[in-house]
Structure 1
Amino acid sequence: MPVRSHYPDVEVPDVSLFDFLFRNFGERADAAALVDGGSGATVTFSELERMVRKIAAALAERGIGAGDVVGMFAPNTPLYPAVFHGVLRANAIVTSANSLYTPGELTHQLIDSGAKLLFTVSPFLDRAAAAVAQAGLPPESIILLDGQVDGYTSLGDLLASEAEPPAQTVGAEDTAVLPYSSGTTGRAKGVILTHRNLVANLLQIERMGKVSPQTRILAVLPFFHIYGMTVMMNQGLHKQCTVVTMAKFDLSEFLRVIAEYRVNRVYIAPPVAVALAKHPMVDDYDLSCIDIIISGAAPLDAELGHAVAVRLGCTVLQGYGMTELSPVSHAMPDDSTDMDLNSSGFALPNIECKLVDPDTGREVGPGERGELWVKGPNVMSGYLNNPEATAITLDDEGYLHTGDVATVTEEGVFSIVDRVKELIKYKGYQVPPAELEALLLTHDKIADAAVIGVRDAEGEEVPKAFVVRQASGADLTAEDVMTFVAERIAPHKKVRVVEFIDEIPKSASGKILRKDLRAREAQAR
């Protein structure tokens, strides 16, 4: 039986994202909307709106309008939201690209999305220029956010426009953004998210948190990813609070920015929690300003989360989502007191869920494992140019099949226990890699870990752990790791192979890139 959110539904207005966010800044007009954590440069709400309108006007002068796609290939800066919303205000669509992409990966996204322009920064210019050329676009399709480079248009050129922005023609059901996601399987696909999807998710997450104009949000997770885009960049505008940006994660800089700008709300992925719980550098900074840390993008182990909470004297919470959900579907509310930190909290308002046995198709009840299916106003329209993938992921009833295995309690608390495609089958038993990874991270000599299934000499699939030692763990052996796990888990879940590596491959949002580990394993064989 479907499980509905126990929160009252929110009313989702039929407006564009621009109209929703830039409706009226009032007394906040001259307050800091965005602060560059590195330089201290500040953009106020009124300055941001002026830039958005100038960029929209300049894009319209260049022929960009309804249905056109504009790419963004840049790190977090206060200028990113100006360009993002300038594109939307020009009635066009943003496709945000991973700033770690190679030219080939970026080329695929430019071609697949049909992008006509690409905003980037000068340190990325070599990759951007190569991708633009491979996509068959002219060099003048590149616009640089930072400074002047001969032969290229700059953002300054656009901001010098004296034109008026075009009339708004987009509505709530029109496409707003095309972030790219691999979904449950395969190569990255364009995820069609409408203005209504994004507005709905902002209103849904509003019910779960206590974000106000006095809040200071740290945006270290990238704006190109839907997590940073919605939960940091756009939530900051919606709640008219200050967002402090970081171009990339560096632990000492991360800690300095929090301490210097007195950030009180920090969104992270689990790898950052490992550093906050274990790294000695944390003690060198005054982090007493932090009220809330929210982890997403991958499962956070409760013991690790509690260690962070105790060390920093703050509340640590967890949520769940995916690009196809705009992205948040489940979260712990800010006032959680006794909720299991291994869980992902409650379904957000307007959301209905099912848990379905992936082998039998049977709906399962509280306490049973099943693939999580989600229905709500934040669910994507589909995958761009990919009706087959859309049909696999979205069913006729409007449920999105997440590919994640979950359980739910009688009280409606959901826990993500693994992914359908990543379960290891050992002698017929299911072994969830995420469970083993969470356990490994509780070892005081392990800095990071990932687990995949590999074949042993008998052809049986067994769990293999890739382990990154702490600086103090040089003497840690594979036998130590296997013994540690064996003493704490059921026999069929034991780690049977260990390899020490320097770094676990992860996406920008913090998800373990198991495909990279599998490729490494195949190459070793």
Structure 2
Amino acid sequence: MKDNATGLTLVPHAVSMERRNGDLLMTSRTPLDPVVSNTGAWLDKWARETPSNIFLAERSGGGWREMGYAEVRDAVRAIASSLAARGMDASTPIVIMSGNSLDHALLSLGAQYAGVPTVPLAEQYSLITEAHDRLVYVLNKVRPAMAFVDDASRYGAAISRPELEGVEIVASLTDDAPVKVTPFAELLRGDDSVDLVGVHAKVGPETLAKILFTSGSSSDPKGVLTTQKMMCANQAQIASVLPFLKERPPRIMDWLPWNHVFGGSHNTLMMLAHGGSLYIDNGKPTSSGFQHTIRNVIDRPGTLSFNVPVGFAMLVHEMETNMALRKAYFGDLDMLFYAGASLPQEVWTRLEEMAIEIRGKLPLMISSWGMTETAPATLMVHEPIGRSGVIGVPLPGTEIKLTPDNEMRCELRVKGPNIMTGYWGDAEKSAAAFDEEGFLVTGDAVRFVNPDDPDRGLIFDGRVSEDFKLLTGTWVQAGRLRLEALEQLRGLVQDVVICGHDRGEIGLFIFPKPGQMDGDTTSEGAIIDGALQSAIENRLRSMAKAATGSAKRITRAIILAEPPSLKDSEVTDKGSLNVRKIITRRADLLERLYDNEDPALIRV
């Protein structure tokens, strides 16, 4: 049906509910679209039907290097034959050690066409020497047959690791390579001796396509076995409830990293599934990278926009004064999609206001819930809701199990064709990931928007594993309390960490916004702005006064001079805080937080 507010063809939320043994089982009443057998089926289809339509593009010099579907298919088939000629198959993974690029995309699709799994890694694992322990862990875990980087010189330290001895190194740029490398152009030459039709015919739904490593916030990263069925079913699930995607080829300008399932599977394959265009944004939402994003969006704006909340906040801030960006961004925008965390409501509202100003109507503004283990979308909003924080209803083909607690908060478990079968080389963790009924144990909690109307969907309510008990035995729902604290401290802080495990009171680590500290922010010599400290104290007092019990009352806080450290794994590759690592690494500051005599302590 056509939605009046957005003008898009949408399927309204419609779910079925069943009670069983105290649990709630929730499914979609929307039929699932047909599922193709592998990603190559999409590429072959669009190469035949729309051969000249742009599929992949990246900035090159002063312009764009753009490749149409037929050209991409030729390159993919050449790469697939080169891999097959080397005897590569599902048992010979390819580690991709550099970030998003056109060659990265071609290699990934070529490997999928030949049935060879790829292992895309966060580029900081290779570029930051202090993060090489993560790189070494993965290399020892998967034992790759090939490793790819876009620049052999820039990634020289990583490709020189002894763990890669005897592994074929492929690079787009080979100048000043510290080790022997194969030029990427050699893979593009292909091998005519290979029966590629026969090779590709063996690639089916159960063929391993990727090994995606989780961020490992509480333990070593786990390699999620991502099959062709998981990825192809997930795009069919999404298309079932967002039929407007099938009405015209979508277009995105996207920076989200391909080592993460959001950018690398969800967004990239959505373009491929619908004959769309993926423009690779060489920027990102950082102080140094965002100027590239501004230029790129003005050059090649999308019909869909995917981002994390901090990225949308930066866009809104820039568009307040940059009318060229505002007009380009909203001019042809059908959908705006956020994930990774809840979008602040003031950012949501301002995006709506700007869209109305430029287009005269709203884009569809939505979010979803998923994990690396779920390929990823499992719950999704697919109707206008007018507010942030909702993660939607089950997608077609999935089954959701909700175990309620005493506050209508539910633990979330899931089944479906998009759910993994296990982890690479780890039978014990694979078995532990599922309950006795075969549901994936997610560790996440949700609650109903309206308990009397399940069609309105669910709200994310934190990680069950992040909850803790105070000394009194009172459970603290840390995820929900963090969101409440961020809302209370809106505009004053960058992020917060809830503390208090086995303590008598709840405390708060506060990360201020950049520029709010004077002096060396890597030491205790930084000076806290007095007005900032006073404003934080006043807002926390108001929050504590309204709290209904000790589980919701923050009584103390400390402002941290040093920002979250990437090299020390305090920030995951998805950009979220690694709470356990922060509390462990900053144990001395945790003690100061509970020292009533410490002069830096904010008492509430």
TM-score by length of 1: 0.89
| CA distance in structure 1 between the partners assigned to 2:276 and 2:214 by the alignment | 29
Residue 50 of structure 1: how far off its partner (Å): 0.8
Q: What is residue 137 of structure 1 aligned with on the other side?
A: 165
Question: CA, structure 1 residues 291+115, in 2 after alignment: closer, same or farther (shift >3 Å)?
Answer: same
| CA distance in structure 2 between the partners assigned to 1:470 and 1:66 by the alignment | 45
Q: How does 1:184-199 map to 2 (within 5 A)?
A: 185-199=218-232
Aligned partner of 2:186 among 142, 157, 160: 157
Amino acid at match of 2:494: D
Q: What is residue 149 of structure 2 aligned with on the other side?
A: 120
Residue 373 of structure 1: how far off its partner (Å): 0.4
Residue 23 of structure 1: how far off its partner (Å): 3.1
1:509 aligned counterpart, secondary structure: coil
Amino acid at match of 2:388: L
**Residue 446 in 1 paired to residue 492 in 2?**
yes
In structure 1, stretches of 5+ residues that fail to align are 357-362
Q: How does 1:214-253 map to 2 (within 5 A)?
A: 214-249=249-284, 250-253=289-292
| CA distance in structure 2 between the partners assigned to 1:437 and 1:466 by the alignment | 13
**Residue 256 in 1 paired to residue 305 in 2?**
no
Amino acid at match of 1:204: Q
Q: What is residue 506 of structure 2 aligned with on the other side?
A: 462
- Of 152-161 and 312-321, more deviation after overlay is shown by 312-321
Tell me if the contact between 1:305 and 1:341 (Cα under 8 Å) persists in the aligned partners: yes
Question: CA, structure 1 residues 310+510, in 2 after alignment: closer, same or farther (shift >3 Å)?
Answer: farther
Amino acid at match of 1:196: K
Amino acid at match of 2:139: L
Superposed CA offset, 1:343-394 (max 9, x none): 10111111111122xxxxxx569x7112100111111011122222222221
| CA distance in structure 1 between the partners assigned to 2:581 and 2:423 by the alignment | 24
**Residue 310 in 1 paired to residue 353 in 2?**
yes
Superposed CA offset, 1:435-462 (max 9, x none): 434652565643521223146xx93252
Question: CA, structure 1 residues 476+402, in 2 after alignment: closer, same or farther (shift >3 Å)?
Answer: farther
**Residue 175 in 1 paired to residue 208 in 2?**
yes
Aligned partner of 2:454 among 391, 397, 411: 411
Residue 75 of structure 1: how far off its partner (Å): 1.2
Tell me if the contact between 1:440 and 1:449 (Cα under 8 Å) persists in the aligned partners: yes
Question: CA, structure 1 residues 270+88, in 2 after alignment: closer, same or farther (shift >3 Å)?
Answer: same
**Residue 105 in 1 paired to residue 134 in 2?**
yes
| CA distance in structure 2 between the partners assigned to 1:223 and 1:30 by the alignment | 25
1:59 aligned counterpart, secondary structure: helix
Q: What is residue 487 of structure 1 aligned with on the other side?
A: 542
Tell me if the contact between 2:35 and 2:236 (Cα under 8 Å) persists in the aligned partners: no
Tell me if the contact between 1:12 and 1:196 (Cα under 8 Å) persists in the aligned partners: no
| CA distance in structure 1 between the partners assigned to 2:296 and 2:500 by the alignment | 41
Q: What is residue 388 of structure 1 aligned with on the other side?
A: 428
Aligned partner of 1:62 among 72, 81, 86: 86
Tell me if the contact between 1:68 and 1:115 (Cα under 8 Å) persists in the aligned partners: yes
Amino acid at match of 1:223: W
| CA distance in structure 2 between the partners assigned to 1:31 and 1:441 by the alignment | 44
Residue 120 of structure 1: how far off its partner (Å): 1.2
1:54 aligned counterpart, secondary structure: helix
Residue 404 of structure 1: how far off its partner (Å): 0.6
Q: What is residue 294 of structure 1 aligned with on the other side?
A: 337
- Of 167-176 and 284-293, more deviation after overlay is shown by 284-293
1:477 aligned counterpart, secondary structure: helix
Question: CA, structure 1 residues 136+43, in 2 after alignment: closer, same or farther (shift >3 Å)?
Answer: closer
| CA distance in structure 2 between the partners assigned to 1:125 and 1:511 by the alignment | 25
Tell me if the contact between 1:76 and 1:222 (Cα under 8 Å) persists in the aligned partners: yes
Aligned partner of 1:399 among 439, 451, 474: 439
In structure 2, stretches of 5+ residues that fail to align are 1-18, 126-130, 357-361, 518-528, 565-569, 592-604
Tell me if the contact between 1:267 and 1:293 (Cα under 8 Å) persists in the aligned partners: yes
Amino acid at match of 2:389: N
Aligned partner of 2:314 among 275, 285, 290: 275
Q: What is residue 359 of structure 1 aligned with on the other side?
A: none
Question: CA, structure 1 residues 111+165, in 2 after alignment: closer, same or farther (shift >3 Å)?
Answer: farther
Amino acid at match of 2:454: E
Superposed CA offset, 1:232-252 (max 9, x none): 111111111111112341222
| CA distance in structure 2 between the partners assigned to 1:423 and 1:37 by the alignment | 44
Superposed CA offset, 1:42-81 (max 9, x none): 1111111111111111112222124321111121112222
Residue 253 of structure 1: how far off its partner (Å): 1.7
Residue 217 of structure 1: how far off its partner (Å): 1.1
Tell me if the contact between 1:189 and 1:383 (Cα under 8 Å) persists in the aligned partners: yes
1:109 aligned counterpart, secondary structure: helix
Amino acid at match of 2:533: A
Question: CA, structure 1 residues 349+146, in 2 after alignment: closer, same or farther (shift >3 Å)?
Answer: farther
Superposed CA offset, 1:297-354 (max 9, x none): 2333444433333345454321111000001111111xx3335421101111111111
Tell me if the contact between 2:381 and 2:392 (Cα under 8 Å) persists in the aligned partners: yes
- Of 113-122 and 426-435, more deviation after overlay is shown by 426-435
- Of 299-308 and 155-164, more deviation after overlay is shown by 299-308
Question: CA, structure 1 residues 364+50, in 2 after alignment: closer, same or farther (shift >3 Å)?
Answer: same
Superposed CA offset, 1:452-486 (max 9, x none): 3146xx93252313222365895543342242144
Residue 137 of structure 1: how far off its partner (Å): 3.1
Amino acid at match of 1:197: M
2:414 aligned counterpart, secondary structure: strand
| CA distance in structure 1 between the partners assigned to 2:195 and 2:101 by the alignment | 23
Question: Over alpha carbons, which structure has the higher Rg?
Answer: 2
Superposed CA offset, 1:393-448 (max 9, x none): 21232211111111134324011110011124445142434543465256564352
TM-score by length of 2: 0.78
Tell me if the contact between 1:330 and 1:348 (Cα under 8 Å) persists in the aligned partners: yes
| CA distance in structure 1 between the partners assigned to 2:340 and 2:466 by the alignment | 16
Q: What is residue 266 of structure 1 aligned with on the other side?
A: 305
| CA distance in structure 2 between the partners assigned to 1:470 and 1:454 by the alignment | 26
| CA distance in structure 2 between the partners assigned to 1:110 and 1:470 by the alignment | 35
Amino acid at match of 1:295: Y
Amino acid at match of 2:557: V
Q: What is residue 558 of structure 2 aligned with on the other side?
A: 498
Question: CA, structure 1 residues 127+207, in 2 after alignment: closer, same or farther (shift >3 Å)?
Answer: farther
Give the total of aligned pairs.
511
Residue 155 of structure 1: how far off its partner (Å): 0.8
